[in-house]
Structure 1
Amino acid sequence: MDSEDITSLCASLSICSRDGPIQLLNDKLMVEAKQRLSLCIKGKILLSKRVNREAFMCVIGKIWQVRKGMDIESVIGNTFTFHFRDVYDLNRVISGGPWSFDNALLAMEKPVGKGTIESLRFNQADFWVQIHQVPLLCMTKEIGRFLGGMIGEVLKVDGGVSGDCLGKFMWVRVRVNIEKSLT
């Protein structure tokens, strides 16, 4: 294909007056869409075989025990959309992970306004990790953040009741890229 062919193809993609006027989205519709999306998460069960969708939707709804309810929609394959009615329930589910079904990880993503379901990567998961054999002098939240940062993105360091990390090990919540091997 030469440059003239490419130029003519690109010209045919332009918007002409015959295609109709450009319409702007109503502000009220935009606000409603953002509100709906703010209470939504997408999840994908990372399993090569198809899961029983009905069983999954029934079981996960009982496990999560949301206060104000949610709707689960099967999107495609092992991908689901979870529509919550309350931000507290949404945050509790996200912070309570990682979740699994049929011995497979449920990778979850909070969608943003742009993109499609196909653009979601489902390549990260949040885990609580224990860091053992840390010298007592180093049992601080700052060192917990440093050590956890060697694993992934640190989301939280549990300092325990006292606020200091003085237990047998340190608890650190990290976001890990699950496409890469752990070092």
Structure 2
Amino acid sequence: MNENEIASLCNALSIGEKESPTKILDVKLKDRGEQRGPTEDFIGGPWRFDRAIIIFEEPIGTGDIANMGFNRTKFWVQVHNLPILCISEEIGLFLGNMIGEVRNIDLEAGKNGSSRFIRVRVVIKVDEPLQRSLRVDLLGDGKIITVLLRYERVPGFCY
């Protein structure tokens, strides 16, 4: 490339676009973009590659990447050591909210086999330590029990 070609390429570069008038996006186009956003099934996870967790975050509004944390993902958490009368959706919601943001509760998975538990799908901040247990007074009688938490599909790097 000679100096004349380089000079013509440099002349083609312009910062004049910043000075042009602003145009407003058609509302219908914005609505279609929001409808095309990621689905709950895609965000499922937790996803991992080479023993490292991959975090997807659902964009909100315009989906400005600079304002997204990429530090939260969903896990199924098994809550063990519950009295039989406490295996309910309401108790699952209560205990799940102590762990993170509850997205789903599965009472059926823990009924098969010898141990009984509640499965709760929660959004957890991955830059904070995982809780191993919860101490709660479930029956309101002053008797505190410790429920054990088992995280499903936790990658090998979580300690």
Question: Which TM-score tier does this pair reach, normalised by the shorter chain?
Answer: 0.5 to 0.7
**Contact kept? 2:105, 2:120, Cα under 8 Å:** yes
1:91 is matched by which residue type in structure 2?
Answer: E
1:92 is matched by which residue type in structure 2?
Answer: D
The aligned counterpart of 1:25 is 24
- Aligned with 2:55: secondary structure? strand
The aligned counterpart of 1:132 is 80
Instruction: State which structure, 1 or 2, has the greater radius of gyration over its C-alpha atoms.
Output: 2
Q: How many Å separate the matches in 2 of 1:26 and 1:108?
A: 26
Post-superposition offset of 1:36: 2.7
C-alpha spacing 1:26/1:133, structure 2 compared with 1 (3 Å): closer
TM-score when normalising by structure 2 = 0.59
Of 38, 42, 49 in structure 2, the residue corresponding to residue 93 of structure 1 is: 42
C-alpha spacing 1:26/1:131, structure 2 compared with 1 (3 Å): closer
Q: How many Å separate the matches in 2 of 1:31 and 1:141?
A: 39
The aligned counterpart of 2:138 is none
- Aligned with 1:154: secondary structure? strand
CA RMSD of the aligned region, Å?
Answer: 2.3
1:130 is matched by which residue type in structure 2?
Answer: Q
Q: How many Å separate the matches in 1 of 2:57 and 2:125?
A: 12
Identity within the alignment, %: 38
1:93 is matched by which residue type in structure 2?
Answer: F
Q: Do residues 35 (structure 1) and 25 (structure 2) align?
A: no
Structure 1 gaps, min length 5? 1-18, 42-89
Structure 1 stretches of 4+ moved >3 Å = none
Structure 2 gaps, min length 5? 1-18, 132-159
**Contact kept? 1:97, 1:127, Cα under 8 Å:** yes
Q: Do residues 170 (structure 1) and 141 (structure 2) align?
A: no
- Aligned with 2:127: secondary structure? coil
1:145 is matched by which residue type in structure 2?
Answer: L
TM-score when normalising by structure 1 = 0.52
- Aligned with 1:110: secondary structure? coil
C-alpha spacing 1:182/1:91, structure 2 compared with 1 (3 Å): closer
Alignment size in residue pairs: 110
Of 130, 154, 157 in structure 1, the residue corresponding to residue 105 of structure 2 is: 157
